[in-house]
Amino acid sequence: MANILTVEQLLGTPAAHERMDTVTIEGLGTVRVRALSLNEHREMRKESMQGDTWDDRRWNALLLVHGLAEPALTYDQAVQVTEMPIGPVDALLAHILRVSGLLPGGMLAEKAVDAAEATFPE
């Protein structure tokens, strides 16, 4: 049977802003990303919803503002970063989501890729 956490153990879990990873992004360089908290994530979602329309540009910029610890970016600088080539920027966003626990492992499992490729005719 699994051990159930105590309140002390649960509250002893590091806060989101304390969870950081140093990552090297090909085409960009080395940066430090940090985890998003539940409250930050929900506020970012609210800010990215304009009426009934989702604003991807705003969402991506907010991910960079809140998830990039070093170098820290202003919102306007984050918008500029989203205008860079997609590969490195997408990798950076994936690392932020991974450290936040929103993207397990940050990549597809090799088995999943192999299984998907097996469905395509040669």
Q: What is the pLDDT of residues 35-94, one digit of tens each?
A: 999 999 999 999 999 888 999 999 999 999 999 999 999 999 999 999 999 999 999 999
Does residue 114 carry a pLDDT above 60? no
Residue 85's φ and ψ, nearest 5 degrees, are -55, 140
Q: What is the pLDDT of residues 47-61, one digit of tens each?
A: 999 888 999 999 999
Domain 15-103 in CATH 3.30.2220.30? The answer is yes
What is the rounded radius of gyration, in angstroms, for the C-alpha atoms of the chain? 17
| Portion of the chain with pLDDT greater than 70, in percent | 85
Q: Model confidence at 107, in pLDDT bands (50, 70, 90)? A: very low
**Looking up tokens 């932020």, which residue turns up?**
96
DSSP collapsed to 3 states, 22-74: EEEECCCEEEEEECCCHHHHHHHHHHHEECCEECHHHHHHHHHHHHEEECCCC
Indicate the domain borders of the chain.
15-103
Q: What is the mean pLDDT of residues 6-31?
A: 90
The confidence score (pLDDT) of residue 38 equals 93
| Portion of the chain with pLDDT greater than 90, in percent | 63
